[in-house]
Structure 1
Amino acid sequence: MSEEPSLLAADSAGGHDSILLLFICLIGIIVIFTLIGILGSGVSRRTGRRKTPADWLGGIALLSVCATIALYIWGALHVMFMENANMREECAEAGGAAKAAQVDRYEAHYLPLRFTCHLDEGGSYDAAVPGYVNPAMAIAFIMAIATGAVSVVARDQDRSTSPTVTRGR
């Protein structure tokens, strides 16, 4: 009688917490809507004057942060849905049926996002998270940092070069 690990045992050996991941996704959605609200209020507040490069770069930075969070949520949902439903099927799809038969445990990683199938004879391979999620998330994050930093520098330069307005009595 061979003892093959059950899906429940494999999940408990290297599983992840769906409630935590769901909470992270919920917080991410709230942050996205908040940042879009901040961006929208900034656009509506400045309708009377011409937009400076710092304004444009600040908006691009906020949108890049939103894209980073949205991509993280998209990848996290892939990981979360693999916990309960069809882990072995995802491992079979990613590595083939022969490798899937040798899987003894599963493991989720949150940064970078990945769902790893571990083989009983050693070795592992990733499944479930689309291949574009982590690179796109890294690019959006780098773009957010870069445009945010340039926006702050441009805004500081605008303030230092603009003439100060003095009020007469």
Structure 2
Amino acid sequence: MSGDEPYTEHVGAILVLLILAGLLTVVWLTVRVITGLVRSRRNGATLLGPAAVLAWDAAVGMYTWGLLHLLFFDDHAQAQACEKAVEGKVTGYEPTFVPLHFGCRTGDGRVVEAVIPSYLNPATVLLGICALVLTWLVIAHHKKGTHT
């Protein structure tokens, strides 16, 4: 970010596209979880597959929840949140998509999170790790050739 643009924000078009993609993915994965549970109950198969899809669903849902926080905070609300968080003069914003962050830069160089809930990024990472481990277990289970 250049010094002449200290109050940069998340790019609106990218934010809307990520939210739409996230919402569609959450709906699609939720349907996959339900159909996977029905199939596994009917066939007596393992629940590893639906559990992995559910973990991915939760991770994408958590990230999308954070994106929605950004969408509903307009410029004025972001400025108010920053002023409340730093209790002083805000000299700029430092937004990022990964990790999801809307930082408020102070005069002494500190950056304080103001809009994104503090639990969001750790929860998204934890759910993503769970999803990766479960997906690895599903792949290993299928390579063994045992589908029970």
Normalised TM-score (structure 2): 0.85
State the Cα deviation string for residues 119-138 of structure 1 (Å, max 9, x = none).
Answer: 23433222111111011101
Deviation at 1:104, TM superposition (A): 1.9
8 Å Cα contact 2:36/2:49 also seen in 1 = no
1:129 counterpart SS class: coil
Is residue 70 of structure 2 the alignment partner of residue 70 of structure 1? Answer: no
Q: Deviations over 1:73-108 (max 9, x none)?
A: 111122233342312210122222xx2xx2122121
Question: Do the aligned residues in 2 keep the contact of 1:60 with 1:147 (CA within 8 Å)?
Answer: yes
On the 8 A contact 1:16/1:108 being kept in 2, the answer is yes
- Are residues 46 and 123 of structure 1, via their aligned partners in 2, closer, same or farther at CA, if it must alter by over 3 Å? closer
Instruction: Give the aligned residue type for 1:39.
Output: V
Look up the match of 2:139. Answer: 152
1:12 positional shift: 7.2
Cα distance in 2, alignment partners of residues 45 and 122 from structure 1? 55
Partner of 1:60: 51
Q: Among residues 117, 122, 132, which one is paired with 2:104 in the alignment?
A: 117
Using structure 1 for the length normalisation, give the TM-score: 0.75
Alignment of 1:81-96 (within 5 A): 81-96=72-87
The alignment's C-alpha RMSD in Å is 2.3
Of the three residues 127, 130, 143, the one matched with 2:114 is 127
Specify which of 2, 18, 24 is matched with residue 12 of structure 2: 18
**Number of matched pairs:** 145
Alignment partner of 2:27 out of 24, 27, 33 = 33
Structure 2 unaligned segments of length 5 or more: list them. none
SS, match of residue 14 in structure 1: coil
Matched letter for residue 75 of structure 1? G
Say which one has the larger Rg: 1
Q: What is the CA–CA distance in structure 2 between the aligned matches of 1:78 and 1:59, rounded to whole Å?
A: 28
